[in-house]
């Protein structure tokens, strides 16, 4: 899965899955612009990757995936640093938790903007800049298929990402651009470790995961690296579950579990 000479952009690159994707691409020979809203954190992450994997392989860029101007600036920065972009990993995401009846309209808009609009803007910029060959890998979610109480906006946004992946794959295939997605299950990240992996909640996630463990960022990152590589040269328009088999059994109603745990504490 050699990616030597490729120039990549990874959104949400400051931590978690995005940082794991960036590391995996660099390890396979690519140079990566880490794109994240938190400028200080993303610059620190890029410096850490360069210290670990070699100078001149990573750079940080602070900006919002919901801004077309920031996307244009990110592509300019990546091209100036590493050459024309040939790989894009649309990984940035955001969510909160509330039942539909209580869901704040601003939270709905933010989730849709970051997860769905951000992915769209990245694909659009790539399509207008890259003549091909090229590869886009979007981050969808198990929640695109497994409806879960309390995160209607996230489920809807990730379903949109999976469908957008198919449409973009069909439209961009004649240009030699492949578009795929990964759909992670419960993965050990700074966000999930804030309560989803511990106690009864964690036990229920594991009970619904046939492989019996939580995912790690590198599990998702390896799948992204494969889809970005020539080894997946005949693969486009798919959303690949990377969830230890979680899609087989679906998800527990973890909103209900959270309420029960809170009531018992």
CB atoms within 10 A of CB 249: 13
Answer yes or no: are the C-beta atoms of 35 and 67 closer than 8 Å.
no
Catalytic residue from among 94, 108, 120, 154: 154
Q: Quick one: which of 237, 235, 239 has its CA closest to 247?
A: 239
Residue 23 neighbours by CB under 8 Å, 6+ apart: 49, 52, 53, 218, 221
Torsion sign (Cα): 108, 112, 113, 114:
positive
Q: Quick one: which of 146, 156, 160 has its CA closest to 100?
A: 156
Rounded to an integer, what distance in angstroms lies between the CA atom of residue 116 and that of residue 164? Answer: 9
Using CA atoms, how far residue 213 sits from 21, 188, 243, 247, in Å, is 20, 10, 9, 14
Return the DSSP state at 194: G
The values of phi and psi at residue 8, to 5°, are: -125, 155
Asked about 254 being catalytic, the answer comes back as no
Answer yes or no: are the C-beta atoms of 22 and 10 closer than 8 Å.
yes
Catalytic residues: 154
């Amino acid at each position: 899965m050699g990616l030597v000479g490729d120039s990549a952009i990874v959104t949400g690159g400051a931590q978690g899955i995005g940082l794991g994707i960036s590391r995996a691409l660099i390890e396979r020979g690519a140079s990566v612009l880490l794109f994240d809203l938190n400028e200080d954190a993303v610059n620190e992450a890029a410096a850490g990757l360069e210290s670990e994997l070699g100078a001149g392989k990573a750079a940080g860029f602070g900006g919002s995936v919901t801004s077309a101007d920031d996307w244009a600036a990110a592509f300019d920065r990546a091209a100036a640093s590493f050459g024309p972009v040939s790989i894009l990993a649309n990984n940035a995401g955001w969510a909160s938790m509330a039942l539909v009846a209580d869901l704040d309209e601003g939270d709905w808009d933010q989730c849709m903007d970051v997860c769905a609009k951000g992915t769209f803007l990245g694909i659009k910029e790539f399509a207008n800049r890259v003549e091909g060959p090229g590869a886009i890998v979007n981050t969808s979610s198990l929640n695109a298929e497994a409806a879960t109480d309390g995160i209607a906006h996230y489920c809807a946004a990730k379903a949109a990402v999976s469908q957008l992946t198919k449409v973009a794959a069909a439209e961009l295939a004649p240009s030699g651009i492949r578009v795929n997605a990964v759909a992670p299950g419960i993965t050990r990240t700074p966000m999930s470790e804030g309560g989803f992996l511990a106690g009864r909640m964690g036990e229920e996630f594991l009970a619904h995961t046939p492989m019996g463990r939580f995912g790690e960022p590198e599990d998702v990152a390896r799948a992204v690296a494969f889809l970005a590589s020539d080894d997946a040269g005949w693969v486009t328009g798919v959303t690949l579950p990377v969830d230890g088999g979680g899609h087989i059994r679906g998800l527990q109603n973890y909103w209900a579990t959270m309420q029960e745990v809170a009531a018992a504490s």
